[in-house]
Amino acid sequence: MFNFFKKKSPIEKLYEEYNKLLKEAHALSTSNRSASDAKQAEAQEVMKKIEAAEAQQ
């Protein structure tokens, strides 16, 4: 009920950033392919950070 008081873990924050970047890349894919590819690359870097953080746990 009171999940909004719970602080997010660093991994949850990274997942949110990853999803945000993917949404931006998808939106850009129809208008600017190179910008979309750049967002995809950023998302992949965030995924590497997620995988590294999950491996540490």
**What's residue 31's pLDDT?**
95
- Residue 3, domain member (yes or no): no
pLDDT tens figures, 1-57:
566 778 889 999 999 999 999 999 999 999 999 999 999 999 999 999 999 999 998
- The residue segments making up the domain with residue 17 are 8-56
- Residue 39, domain member (yes or no): yes
pLDDT tens figures, 14-25:
999 999 999 999
Residues 6+ apart with CB under 8 A from 43: 18, 21, 22, 25
CA 1/CA 47 separation, integer angstroms: 30
Structural domain count, the chain: 1
For the chain, the three-class secondary structure string (H helix, E strand, C coil) is CCHHHCCCCHHHHHHHHHHHHHHHHHHHCCCCHHHHHHHHHHHHHHHHHHHHHHHHC
**What's residue 2's pLDDT?**
65
- Residue 40, domain member (yes or no): yes
- Residue 24, domain member (yes or no): yes
